[in-house]
Amino acid sequence: EPEVTQTPSHQVTQMGQEVILRCVPISNHLYFYWYRQILGQKVEFLVSFYNNEISEKSEIFDDQFSVERPDGSNFTLKIRSTKLEDSAMYFCASSRDRGFYEQYFGPGTRLTVT
Amino acid sequence: AQTVTQSQPEMSVQEAETVTLSCTYDTSENNYYLFWYKQPPSRQMILVIRQEAYKQQNATENRFSVNFQKAAKSFSLKISDSQLGDTAMYFCAFMNLGAQKLVFGQGTRLTINP
């Protein structure tokens, strides 16, 4: 069964550094998402992406964040200048369509900012 | 803004028992979607069951069923004949009609004991 994959599984970076988290969504899916979960808190929506542009974003997704689909398979989340509070588990997801369609989640990337 | 609350941080039952996980949500919308996702230890989140708010009939998927009480804004998950493989974190989630983001509850850690 097709799965969403994410790399790396764990990334450690220093405050102020740029990080890129990578995801390979399921190949025939059209919608792509990033969520994050700070330790002990709820899973929070960051952004959704469709037709090569952001279709919805949360207030968390400020100018420090960007997303890109650089080729036909990868979907990336870039954090330009990491802060301590960006430490979290980041989940990528994809779906065939929006709304009632199932979002398929990746295993997550644990980002630790020191 | 919509919120989702899961009041049971942890639950534990014996194999073959029936267990019910609670979820309440807050919204002023009339049409929306509700989901239960399961995250087994060290694995990705997967969809267990979903419900469209305009449908009065409760959704069922094999051993999993929901009790959807729209007026009370309650969406509980019942697992019948629980199995060891049901051990996981369970997340209740809400989505507005026409939206793309899932709004998650805090999660309930369910342990099935042999």
A residues 44-83 lying closer than 8 A (beta carbon) to B: 44-45, 48, 50, 55-56, 58
Nearest by Cα to B92 from B113, B68, B56, B61: B68
CB atoms A42 and B97 under 8 Å: no
Distances (CA, A) of B63 to A56, B19, B49, B60, B82: 35, 11, 11, 8, 8
pLDDT > 70 fraction of chain A, expressed in percent and rounded: 100
Pairing assessment for the beta strands B46-52 and B103-104 based on DSSP bridges:
unpaired
pLDDT in tens, chain B (114 residues): 789 999 999 999 999 999 999 999 999 999 999 999 999 988 899 999 999 999 989 999 999 999 999 999 999 999 999 999 999 999 999 999 888 999 999 999 999 999
Q: What is the pLDDT of residues A41-65, one digit of tens each?
A: 999 999 999 999 999 999 999 999 9
Nearest by Cα to A77 from A27, A24, A114: A24
Whole-number Å distance between alpha carbons of B96 and B69: 17
